[in-house]
Amino acid sequence: MDLTYTDEQKAFRDEVRAFLDEKLPKRLSDKVAGGKHLVKEDYEEWHAILNEKGWLGVTWPEEFGGTGWDAVQRHIFEEETTRASAPRIVPFGVNMLGPVLMKFGSKEQQDHYLPRILSGDDWWCQGYSEPGAGSDLASVKTSAERDGDHYIVNGQKTWTTLGQYANKIFCLVRTSKEGKPQEGISFLLIDMDTPGVEVRPIVLIDGEAEVNEVWFENVKVPVENLVGEENKGWTYAKYLLTHERTNIAGVGFANAALQNLKRIAGLEKSGGKALIENPFFAAKMAQVEIDLMAMATTNLRTIAAAAAGNAPGAESSMLKIKGTVIRQEINALTRQAVGPFAMPFVSEALDEGANVEPVGPDYALPATQSYFNNRKLSIYGGSNEVQRQIISKAILEL
Amino acid sequence: MNFELTEERQMLQDGLRRYLRENVTPEALNEATDSEAGHIPALWDGLTEMGVIGALFTEDDGGFGGAGFDLSVVFEEMGRAGAFEPLLETGVLAGGLIADIGSDAQKAVIEEIVGGKILSFAHTEPGARYDLEHVTTEAKKSDAGWTLSGRKSVVGHAGIAEAFVVSARTSGAAADEDGISLFLVPASADGVDIRDYAMNGGGRAGEVTLTDVSIPADAILGEEGQAYPALEKAAARATAALSSEAVGLMETIRALTVDYLQGRKQFGQPIGKFQALQHRMADVLIEIEQARSAAINLAGHLDAGRVERERHVSATKNLIGRAGRLVAEEAIQMHGGIGMTQEYALGHLAKRLTMIDHRFGDTDYHLERFIRLSAA
Ligand SMILES: Cc1cc2nc3c(=O)[nH]c(=O)nc-3n(C[C@H](O)[C@H](O)[C@H](O)COP(=O)(O)OP(=O)(O)OC[C@H]3O[C@@H](n4cnc5c(N)ncnc54)[C@H](O)[C@@H]3O)c2cc1C
């Protein structure tokens, strides 16, 4: 048992730190640290900086232009980038579609799409969920009917994150109604510029439109955009979900949020004392920190096992639940910490360059919005109820 | 022992519920927050006509209610509808303070309030958090009367108030209970600057800056420097009102969530058939009943002695805060993605419920206060 990094891993960590010191634009880290709204160009800028260094394909093998890092290196990278308040890597192309194409895509698809993911020529979004198919994803209805060398796609996807920025969408579509629902699903790549695709924003409770509805009306998609075999999409979708669950614990995000909370609790005063010295508040903060310390080690245990070649299974469901609950608690405490200034909704003040006078201290502005926005953490990526279902079946065999 | 409403209150409840159900829609609420008024003026007029504002004042003061249970009935219905009219600011805070310590001449304004005049209460300051005694706004005697300077934060409906009840220090240090005075200040007075903004959970509020605002000598409410006990009492009544509003919000959230559990199908059955969700909804129900009882406890003790009243204030607000968070979070979770959207009715209600914890002291503030008061 040894809880420390090896010398090699420490050297790697120093390399990542040096890179971030030098290359992470202050404009971007200020926005992330201040809870400001990031826009498409911000993500693109950061992706390009990482790509130039060869560090965008964090989870990719070297043969596809990735880093070839092992699980510990990926963890260190994640730890350091979140500590430095770097923007997150938008996961849909790099972390979701990329691995699926590497495993199941044709040589042509790999050669065409993978470089475009890294270069930023394509921005992908994820078209899985539908109004009627959320937790029960296998019930997707969006249909793709074969017509010569095209599929004709009809239906609706929803909750499509950042679909407003995307030029491509990977979709689960129904190509057969025979047999079990899982057996009639295919994995299709769709160009969002094709006639018949329509994107409509959905405003969430934080007042922002980060998700969308995507409608398809007789959309013609070339058959070569099918990934793998027809009606085998469910297998690929599940494979993708295991990748969606890498870094699912969000330890880095939680640490950053906790540091921010402590800073605020040091500045807010109640009854003449800093909130951080208030035993009631301090106890809650300590409780969540203690949970986080243990979870960080659970996460490392999973990572060590993965580095030794054991693919994470139901363990990732535990990390998903614990990780999201911890982050949501930190968000709730942050909202609590800012006191009455949790109430004003001055969203424009979170836009870069906005000429709006904030209300209350700067740090108060994003607190309520982040709290409500992060209620999503326990809903998406397989809801926490669905994860409990997985644990009770796969680990407990109940 | 009797937990039934009196006939008058039952009529008020029925009438108000019907009126609000027919006149408040989620779309209208969303629009109102974005509008300049920050509420629904036609609704305010309707409430005025129904006599709802009068229900917040005693007969002696020109109303026909004014007891704790009158507040509960009115605010529970407002919560049920998710409405955010300036009822608390006008009827309970500013109006309540005038009724409590105003002179007969000053009380003349209550008739106008009952008739729809909107007032607000400018008390909380930027660094005050929930400390009621934290007042640094200064009131100095002048030849004309008083000169006020200072800054007030998150003043509800500040942009539409015709006048404010303003707290200011006439003596003592920032955190002294002694030395706080209340003044009636017209919004149109020179030196009153308002920056208004939208609120999470609906409605609008504002930062009110007072720069050498000159008001006449008779604008002071009650005795100079002795306003703290009245402030505490007004905060107690406001907490009772907010607690009942929270219960109303919880009831509507519960109804929406139960409907959704019954109607939403996944894996070929209503999600309400999953035991994991059934048990959680059962817990939500239990906590809502706890919240209702807590709100009743407070409403029934508003006229008790100071310590007993304040112990109930803190007990109730603490429980309402805890229950409110559970109900809002569980409802969103059990709705899945739909619960995250602005358009669906739940979002507004959940936000409004959550924000109640940020008014007049949060869960922890009142837990600590409850312990202190219990030891006394
Ligand atoms: C902000 C946000 C971003 C998203 N981004 C994307 C995206 O980019 N692409 C995409 O495809 N999807 C995306 N999603 C969709 C997300 O994956 C779904 O919301 C999620 O799968 C849940 O589905 P649902 O919303 O339909 O809820 P439902 O499946 O209807 O669930 C409602 C409730 O029932 C519970 N439940 C369901 N089944 C069971 C069961 N068997 N036992 C116990 N409880 C159960 C759920 O846990 C939940 O609490 C996003 C969602 C959100 C909120």
Interface pTM, i.e. ipTM:
0.97
Atom of ligand 1 nearest to the CA of A373: 1
Residue A76 has pLDDT above 70, yes or no: yes
CA distance B153 to chain A (A): 8
C-alpha span between A156 and A198 (Å, rounded)? 9
User: Does residue A277 carry a catalytic annotation?
Assistant: no
Residue A299 has pLDDT above 80, yes or no: yes
Closest CA to A168 of A210, A142, A199, A131: A199
Show the DSSP H helices in chain A as ranges: 7-23, 26-33, 40-53, 71-83, 91, 98-104, 107-119, 233-244, 251-267, 279-307, 315-337, 367-373, 384-390
Residue A309 has pLDDT above 80, yes or no: no
| CB–CB contact B200 A342 (8 Å) | yes
Contacting residues of B for A278, CB less than 8 Å apart: 364, 368
**Contact in structure between B76 and B248 (CB atoms under 8 Å):** yes
A180 is written with which tokens?
A: 């079990």
Which CATH number fits the domain B229-375, given the four candidates 3.40.640.10, 1.20.1250.20, 1.20.140.10, 3.30.70.3270? 1.20.140.10
Closest CA to A227 of A284, A187, A268, A169: A187
Sign of CA dihedral A112, A118, A119, A122: positive
**Percent of chain A whose predicted confidence (pLDDT) is above 90:** 86
The residue ranking higher by pLDDT, A369 or B33, is A369
What is the CATH architecture assignment of A122-230?
Beta Barrel (2.40)
Question: Lowest mean pLDDT: which of A145-149, A305-309, B259-263, B352-356?
Answer: A305-309
Strand partners, A139: none
Question: Lowest mean pLDDT: which of A79-83, A314-318, B93-97?
Answer: A314-318
B15 is written with which tokens?
A: 């009438």
Question: Lowest mean pLDDT: which of A79-83, A209-213, A244-248, A352-356?
Answer: A244-248
Residue A331 has pLDDT above 90, yes or no: yes
Q: Is CATH 1.20.140.10 correct for A249-396?
A: yes
Contact A135 CB / ligand 1 (< 6 Å): yes
Confidence at residue A315, expressed as pLDDT on a 0 to 100 scale: 83
Sign of CA dihedral A329, A330, A336, A340: negative
**pLDDT of B277-292, one tens digit each?**
999 999 999 999 999 9
Domain boundaries, chain B: 7-117, 120-225, 229-375
A175 is written with which tokens?
A: 């190509």
The interface residues of chain B toward chain A in range 48-77, judged by CB-CB distance below 8 A, are none
| CB–CB contact B347 A280 (8 Å) | no
Contact B269 CB / ligand 1 (< 6 Å): no
B115 shares contact with chain A (CB less than 8 Å): no
CA distance B226 to chain A (A): 20
* pLDDT band per the 50, 70, 90 thresholds, residue A160: very high
A356 is written with which tokens?
A: 């709006």
Confidence at residue B165, expressed as pLDDT on a 0 to 100 scale: 98
Confidence at residue A342, expressed as pLDDT on a 0 to 100 scale: 98
Contact B276 CB / ligand 1 (< 6 Å): yes
What dihedral angle (degrees, nearest 10) is formed by the CA atoms of B5, B10, B13, B16?
Answer: -160
Confidence at residue A47, expressed as pLDDT on a 0 to 100 scale: 98
Atom of ligand 1 nearest to the CA of A381: 17
| CB–CB contact A269 B127 (8 Å) | yes
Confidence at residue B254, expressed as pLDDT on a 0 to 100 scale: 98
**pLDDT of A10-38, one tens digit each?**
999 999 999 999 999 999 999 999 999 99
Residue A208 has pLDDT above 80, yes or no: yes
Chain B residue whose CA is closest to A344: B199
Contact A385 CB / ligand 1 (< 6 Å): yes
Q: Strands A269-270 and A226-227: what pairing?
A: unpaired
A145-150: average pLDDT: 97
* Nearest CA owner, ligand 1 atom 31: B336
B197-206: average pLDDT: 96
Contacting residues of A for B368, CB less than 8 Å apart: 278, 280
C-alpha span between A30 and A44 (Å, rounded)? 16
Domain boundaries, chain A: 7-89, 122-230, 249-396
Residue A244 has pLDDT above 70, yes or no: no
Best A156, A180, A205, A378 member to test B by mutation, with max B CBs in 10 Å, is A205
Confidence at residue A258, expressed as pLDDT on a 0 to 100 scale: 98
* Nearest CA owner, ligand 1 atom 17: A380
Nearest CB to B343: which of A203, A272, A379? Answer: A203
A65-78: average pLDDT: 93
Best residue among A97, A123, A380 to mutate for probing ligand 1, ranked by most atoms within 8 Å of CB: A380
Contacting residues of A for B198, CB less than 8 Å apart: 344-346
C-alpha span between B128 and B169 (Å, rounded)? 14
| Beta-carbon contacts of residue B197 (< 8 Å; ≥ 6 apart) | A344, A345, A346, A359, B204, B205, B206
pTM: 0.97
Q: Strands A124-127 and A168-174: what pairing?
A: parallel
Contact A161 CB / ligand 1 (< 6 Å): yes
Confidence at residue A313, expressed as pLDDT on a 0 to 100 scale: 74
Confidence at residue A246, expressed as pLDDT on a 0 to 100 scale: 62
| CB–CB contact A375 B355 (8 Å) | no
Q: Assign a CATH topology to domain B7-117.
A: Butyryl-Coa Dehydrogenase, subunit A; domain 1 (1.10.540)
| CB–CB contact B342 A388 (8 Å) | no
A&B contacts, CB < 8 Å: 131
Confidence at residue A349, expressed as pLDDT on a 0 to 100 scale: 87
* pLDDT band per the 50, 70, 90 thresholds, residue B351: very high
* pLDDT band per the 50, 70, 90 thresholds, residue A302: confident
B82-108: average pLDDT: 97
CA distance A394 to chain B (A): 17
A343 is written with which tokens?
A: 């109430």
Sequential DSSP letters for A32-61: HHTTPPP-HHHHHHHHHHHHHHT-S-TTS-
Nearest CB to A345: which of B197, B277, B358? Answer: B197
- Helix axes B228-263 and B345-355, enclosed angle (nearest 10): 150
**Contact in structure between B274 and B200 (CB atoms under 8 Å):** no
**Contact in structure between B195 and B207 (CB atoms under 8 Å):** yes
Contact B3 CB / ligand 1 (< 6 Å): no
Confidence at residue A340, expressed as pLDDT on a 0 to 100 scale: 97
| CB–CB contact B358 A340 (8 Å) | yes
| CB–CB contact B195 A359 (8 Å) | yes
Contacting residues of B for A380, CB less than 8 Å apart: 337
| Largest CA-CA distance found in chain B, in angstroms, rounded | 78
Chain B residue whose CA is closest to A341: B154
* pLDDT band per the 50, 70, 90 thresholds, residue A314: confident
Sign of CA dihedral B108, B112, B114, B119: negative
Residue A245 has pLDDT above 70, yes or no: no
Confidence at residue B231, expressed as pLDDT on a 0 to 100 scale: 98
| CB–CB contact B124 A340 (8 Å) | yes
C-alpha span between A40 and A31 (Å, rounded)? 13
**Contact in structure between A292 and A259 (CB atoms under 8 Å):** no
Contacting residues of A for B365, CB less than 8 Å apart: 270
Nearest CB to B336: which of A269, A280, A383? Answer: A383
Residue A59 has pLDDT above 70, yes or no: yes
B257 shares contact with chain A (CB less than 8 Å): no
| CB–CB contact B129 A372 (8 Å) | no
Chain A residue whose CA is closest to B266: A136
Atom of ligand 1 nearest to the CA of B338: 25
Top CATH class of B120-225 equals mainly beta
Tell me the residue type at B46: G
Question: b/e per residue, B94-110, with b = 16+ CB within 10 A?
Answer: bbbbbbbbbeeebbebb
CA atoms within 13 A on the CB side of B14: 7
The catalytic residue among A78, A130, A210, A244 is A244
The interface residues of chain B toward chain A in range 176-215, judged by CB-CB distance below 8 A, are 195, 197-201, 205, 207
Contacting residues of B for A340, CB less than 8 Å apart: 124, 128-130, 153-154, 358-359
| Beta-carbon contacts of residue A168 (< 8 Å; ≥ 6 apart) | A122, A123, A124, A125, A189, A190, A191, A192
Chain A residue whose CA is closest to B276: A385
**Contact in structure between B215 and B183 (CB atoms under 8 Å):** yes
Confidence at residue A243, expressed as pLDDT on a 0 to 100 scale: 65
Closest CA to A335 of A301, A374, A366: A366
Query: A336 C-alpha vs ligand 1 centroid, how far in Å?
Result: 27
Query: A5 C-alpha vs ligand 1 centroid, how far in Å?
Result: 37
Confidence at residue B302, expressed as pLDDT on a 0 to 100 scale: 97
C-alpha span between A7 and B180 (Å, rounded)? 64
CA distance A115 to chain B (A): 33
Residue A71 has pLDDT above 90, yes or no: no
**pLDDT of A226-240, one tens digit each?**
999 999 999 999 888
